Amino acid sequence: MISKFFYVDFQMVENEGPDAVSEVLVAVPNIQAKNLANLKAFLYNEGGKGSVVDLPVSIVHPEGMPPELSFYSVSSPEKLEKGASFSFILLAVFTHSLVPFPEEITQADSQLVVYQDSAYYLSPYAVKFQTLSVRLPGGRVESYTKHPSGKLVESEIRYGPFENLPAFSYSPIVVHFENNHPFAVAHELVREIEISHWGNVQVTEHYRLVHGGAQNKGGFSRLDYQSRMKGISSFRHLVAKLPPRAHSVYYRDEIGNISTSHLWGDSKKTQLEIEPRYPMFGGWRTFFTIGYGLPLKDFLFEGAGKRFLNITFGCPFEEVVIDNLLVKVVLPEGSKEISVSTPFPTEQKQEIKYSHLDISGRPVVVLEKSNVVPEHNLYFQVYYKFNNLSLLREPIMLICGFFFLFVACILYTRTDMSISKSSASYLAKLQLEEVRERVQQVQNIISRCLAVHDKVEASLRELSRTGDIQSCKIARKTADGLLKELTKELKPLLTYLQTSPQAANIWPKVEELVAKEREMQEKLMLKHSTVVDCFEKKLGGKEVENRIASQQQKLSALRQDVDDLLEIIDEFC
């Protein structure tokens, strides 16, 4: 059903007709022609020296020929006069022309395939002399069509020689033989080749691969596979020949990256060996992607005012036949006057691809071809014009983008800084408030002290009115106790204010206030003692006045200072 088959034909054509001719017809049965992937003709030079000269081949529809046949015309290098001759080699590649038989096999079986052809060379011309040999891959030959001239020599079946066969001679042959070659078929391959003028050609290839051989029946046993090496018809690895200097190579399937791939290479090529997650048996399929980067300078060139990509068309896996191949060349945004040159006919169209930062999108050249074999791994070219200024568009966009980003960052950090600043000032404000609160508490205590002073003064006035020394002494004791307690209360407040930086301005006033009040206390107590002493000694009112006059003076001055200080401190709060 599958795989490629080389059909090498050596012809020496002689014109026996009366007119000069310039082409030779090649016939292929329609049933095979639909599987004909590639047909090439080369001029045969004696001794095999010199360069290979391709002869043009084209499909033709000559009149009066059997409709079951397709015809191709090979141009002769020069007009053939009567009696002249030339030799050429024909190379045809057919896919899907080996049919697995039996159609289903187990894991343990070898795969057998059937090949059908004609022992006689099918030609619109009479054939003077011909042989056929069918080269097999080796291994068992189940059967082959017997023919008087047929014989099997090692793994080659030979028919002929035949002489003087009339035109369109046909003698069917069937060969049934073992063939365990990996029948790897890509139902579809999408190759995306993206050009970046910044130095890279990125290739991404998506495969829908199937083992196109005899279907596996009876399931798959990994244990059998591993322990007894069963599974001769399966394949485990595929090797891709990538261009030299390929880099960033990866291989993944639907599940994710597969690490069981090996990469090695030299200056001429890079080889990637991939290993699907399970061995591939007949009918089994796998989806996978490989990707790699290539240096731009190896594939992009300039000429005649245009740039052109020159890269191979087919797939890098040598054993793979591709039913349908899509090659997408993604050009840089702004590319113009696009044209394509391929060594064989393909279907062509254009698309647009959008990616990050694209405004008008990237032009994509899409080339489609069915029935692709490794012989199609030829160079093709995509020509386009590109304005270098377009190259700057994306960096300028990026630069602008980054510029705005930086501006935004600066604004953000500014804002951030003002936040931290305000939070610092907020903290300072909090501390200042705390200082104020403490200062107010100090004021409050001082006021309470002054109230105690007033009580002491009041007890002295009471004494002079009633002469009750005892209650005056009690009042003094109470006052002493209160003042002591207030002093105690004052202590932590003063410690706080003395050490707080926020209180630096007000602290001297507070300190002065406290000192003045203390002095007042001393003077007041001294006055109290003096008055009581005078009363105990029963001295006259005048005498008492005289004795305390200077103390009274001092006390009034101190009281004035304390009031002034309280007022100043009030302003601070």
* Residues in touch with ligand NAG (CB under 6 A): 250, 252, 256-257, 310, 379, 381
CB 283 within 8 A of CB 290: no
Give the C-alpha distances (Å, rounded to integers) separating 222 from 228, 231, 278, 284, 427: 10, 10, 9, 15, 73
- Per-state percent for the chain, helix, strand, coil, to nearest 5: 35, 40, 30
Helix (H, G, I), strand (E, B) or coil at 281: coil
Closest CB 308 distance from ligand NAG, rounded Å: 7
Tokens, residue 547: 């004795």
Q: Find how far residue 358's CA is from the centre of its chain.
A: 18
Burial of 554 (0-12, 13-18, 19+ CB in 10 A): middle
Closest CB 256 distance from ligand NAG, rounded Å: 5
Closest CA to 22 of 61, 78, 71: 78
Of 252 and 285, which has the nearer Cβ to ligand NAG? Answer: 252
Closest CB 425 distance from ligand NAG, rounded Å: 49
Provide the pairing of β-strand 321-330 with 184-196: parallel
Closest CB 382 distance from ligand NAG, rounded Å: 11
Tokens, residue 367: 């080339």
Closest CA to 37 of 357, 258, 320: 320
Of 252 and 547, which has the nearer Cβ to ligand NAG? Answer: 252
CB 132 within 8 A of CB 159: yes
Closest CB 185 distance from ligand NAG, rounded Å: 26
Of 257 and 418, which has the nearer Cβ to ligand NAG? Answer: 257
Of 256 and 541, which has the nearer Cβ to ligand NAG? Answer: 256
E-assigned strand segments in 197-260 = 200-211, 215-216, 238-242, 247-253
Of 340 and 456, which has the nearer Cβ to ligand NAG? Answer: 340
Closest CB 306 distance from ligand NAG, rounded Å: 12
Of 248 and 495, which has the nearer Cβ to ligand NAG? Answer: 248
Closest CA to 112 of 172, 174, 173: 174
Of 170 and 379, which has the nearer Cβ to ligand NAG? Answer: 379
Of 222 and 385, which has the nearer Cβ to ligand NAG? Answer: 385
Of 250 and 535, which has the nearer Cβ to ligand NAG? Answer: 250
Closest CB 54 distance from ligand NAG, rounded Å: 14
Closest CB 257 distance from ligand NAG, rounded Å: 4
Who's near 187: CB < 8 A, 6+ residues apart?
208, 209, 210, 285, 323, 324
Q: Tell whether the torsion through CA atoms of 554, 555, 559 and 560 is positive or negative.
A: negative
Per the rule left: phi > 0, alpha: psi between -120 and 50, beta: everything else, 480 is: alpha
Tokens, residue 364: 């994509």
Integer Cα distance of 457 and 518 in angstroms: 16
Closest CB 379 distance from ligand NAG, rounded Å: 4
Of 114 and 249, which has the nearer Cβ to ligand NAG? Answer: 249
Closest CB 415 distance from ligand NAG, rounded Å: 37
